[in-house]
A = this chain, B = another copy of it.
Amino acid sequence: MKTLVIVSHPEYDNSMTESFLNQCQNDIDSVDFLVLDHLTDNYQFNVEQEQQRLIKYDRILFQFPMYWYSSPALLKKYEDDVFTRRFTYANEDGKLKGKELGIITTIGEPLRNYTVGGSEGFSINELLKPYQALAFKAGMNFIKPFTVDQFAYMTNAQKSKLLVDYRNYLTNDDINSFSSKQRWYFEQLEELKEQLSPEKQTKLAVIIDYLKNNYDQLDEIKWELDLIKKEEDE
C-alpha cells in the first residue's frame, strides 16, 4: 500500500508539530510527503502532473492545522484545481475510485472542546463533512480522521504514542483493528519498564525505541499480539 500525505501549512518550516510528524515517517518507503507550500508560491498547480501523482497512491491524506474549521486556503486551491470533475467524480472518469481519503488535522485547543457546549461548539466529525462529501462523490473510502491536539503540551510519552499512532495511520492497511492493539502493547511495555531495575529499564527503553522506529518490527508485534490472543481464546 502506497500513501501520499498532502500537507498544507503556511508556516510549515517553523512548525514544531509539522517537523515532528515529518520525522515520524521519513524512513518509510511506502509513504511520500508533499508539502504544498513548497510546491508553489503563487497558488498555481500543474493539474495534469498532480493528477498523475494522485493516481499512484492507495491512501491519500490531507494534513493541515485547522484554520477556521477547515484547511488553509492553499489546500482548498489544490482541491479546486486538481480534483477536476471528470477526473474525480465516481460516475465520470473516477480515477480515485476505491482509494482511501483521510484527514490529519492539528489543533491548538484540546480535542474535548470540539463539542456542543464546548468552546468550539462543533465536533471534528461535523467540521470535516466537506471532505467526507468529496470522498463520497469520488467513490473513495473516507477513513476516520486523525487529530493531534495541543502538541506543544505533550509529554515525551505522549509523543511516543503519537509517533506510533501516526505511523499506523499512514501505513496500516486496516487502521481500525490495529491501532488500539498497538497502543495497548506499548502502554504495557512502558508500564513494565517502571517495575524493572535501572539496568533492565535502560535495556527495555532501547528495545521500545527500536520497535517504535521500525515499522517492520511493529508488524511483528501485531503478529505476537495475534498469537497471544489466539492462545487466550483457546
Contacts and interface: CB of A to CB of B under 8 A. Distances in A.
Contacts of A129: 69, 122, 126-127, 129
Interface string A99-126: 0000000000000000000001110001
Contacts of A69: 129-130, 133-134
Contacts of A76: 67-68, 70-73, 76
> How many identical chains are in the complex?
2
A186 interface: no
Contacts of A67: 76, 79-80
A139 B197 CA distance: 56
A203 interface: no
Interface in A13-71: 42-43, 67-71
Nearest to A132: B122
A83 interface: yes
Interface string A115-155: 00000111000110110111011000000000000000000
Interface residues on A, range: 20 to 34
Contacts of A130: 68-70, 127, 130
Contacts of A200: none
Contact of A77 (B73, B83, B122, B132): B73
A74 interface: yes
A42 to B, nearest CB: 7
A137 B10 CA distance: 22
Contacts of A127: 129-130, 133
In this complex, the member of A43, A80, A122 whose beta carbon has the largest number of chain B beta carbons within 10 angstroms is: A80
A73 B42 CA distance: 13
Given A67-B79, A68-B83, A126-B129, 16 more contacts: A42-B43, A43-B73, A67-B80, A68-B130, A69-B129, A69-B130, A69-B134, A70-B130, A72-B80, A120-B133, A120-B137, A121-B133, A122-B136, A127-B133, A129-B129, A130-B130
Interface of A: 10, 42-43, 67-74, 76-77, 79-80, 83, 120-122, 126-127, 129-130, 132-134, 136-137
